[in-house]
Amino acid sequence: MSGSDIRLDSLIEDDSDDNDTIQSNTETLEIYSERHPFSLSLRISNFENEAMYKKFVKNCEMMVRRSIEYKEWRNYIVDVLQINECMITHERMCDVTVEVHHHIPSLYTLVTALVNKHIEENIDFCTFDICQEAIEIHFQNRVGYVTLLKSIHEKFHNGKLDVPIQYVQGDYNYFIREYSKYLDESDIETIQSRLAINEHNCSWTRDDYQKAIGEN
C-alpha cells in the first residue's frame, strides 16, 4: 500500500477519552478548560480601562493602514483616478512624494467611532470586525481624504497648516451623519473646525506656495 492510499481518518486520534486541556464552543467562538473557571471569547463587549481601550483602537488603526486592501484603496486613488498631485502646490507624484491624508475623519477617529458604536449598541466585536468595517467604509468612499506633499502633510499634523474643505474628496458627510453620535466632544470640535476652513479663511494662500516652488 502506498502512502497515498492511507485514509486520513485512520490517522485521527481517538478523542473519546476527553482529556484535552483546552476545549472550544465552536458556536460562540469561546475556548475554555474544565480545569479552570475562566473562559476566553474571541469577541468582547467593552474594556477594563481607558488604557486598554486606546491600545485596541491604535492596534486596529495600524492593522488597517498596513493591510493590502488599504494599499489597494490608496493605489486606486493615485494610479487609476490619477489624483496624484498635492492639492495645495499642484506638484505631481512623479516629481515629489505625495501622500493620501485622511481628513474627515482621521483614521484613528474612524476606528474610534466604530468601536464606540459596537459598545453602545451592545454588539460584541474583535479586532478583525473593526478592521473589516473600516476598510469597507473606505471602499464605500465614505471617508474624506486629500492628497498632500509629504512635507505639507507633516506640517498639517504638527498643527501648522489648514486644509480648505474644498480640497477634500470622498463622502465625508456620510460619516458625519452616521457616526458623529459615537464620538466625544473633542472629536466633534475637530471635525467642525476642519469643516469651517476654506480658501478664504485659511492661514496661507496658494500664491505663497507657488512662489516658493518657483524660487526652488
**31 inside domain:** no
* Residue 12, pLDDT score: 63
Cell of 45: 463587549
**145 inside domain:** yes
**196 inside domain:** yes
Can you point out the beta strands (E) in 58-155? 98-102, 145-149
* Residue 106, pLDDT score: 96
* Residue 206, pLDDT score: 66
* Residue 2, pLDDT score: 54
Can you point out the beta strands (E) in the chain? 23-25, 30-32, 40-41, 98-102, 145-149
* Residue 214, pLDDT score: 53
Q: If 0-12 CB within 10 Å is exposed, 13-18 middle and 19+ buried, where does residue 87 land?
A: buried
**28 inside domain:** no
The 10 Å Cβ neighbour count of residue 23 is: 13
* Residue 29, pLDDT score: 67
Peptide bond into 37 cis (omega under 30): no
* Residue 47, pLDDT score: 96
**66 inside domain:** yes
Q: If 0-12 CB within 10 Å is exposed, 13-18 middle and 19+ buried, where does residue 155 land?
A: middle
Could you list the residue range(s) of the whole structural domain that residue 201 is in? Answer: 53-215
**76 inside domain:** yes
Q: Tell me the mean pLDDT per 10 residues along the chain, length 216.
A: 61 57 75 73 90 98 98 94 91 92 96 98 97 98 96 92 94 97 96 94 71 52
12 vs 3: CA distance, rounded Å: 16
Domain count, the chain: 1
**118 inside domain:** yes
User: How many CA atoms does the CB half-sphere of 193 hold within 13 Å?
Assistant: 9
Question: Virtual CA dihedral for 54, 59, 65, 69, nearest 10 degrees?
Answer: -120
**18 inside domain:** no
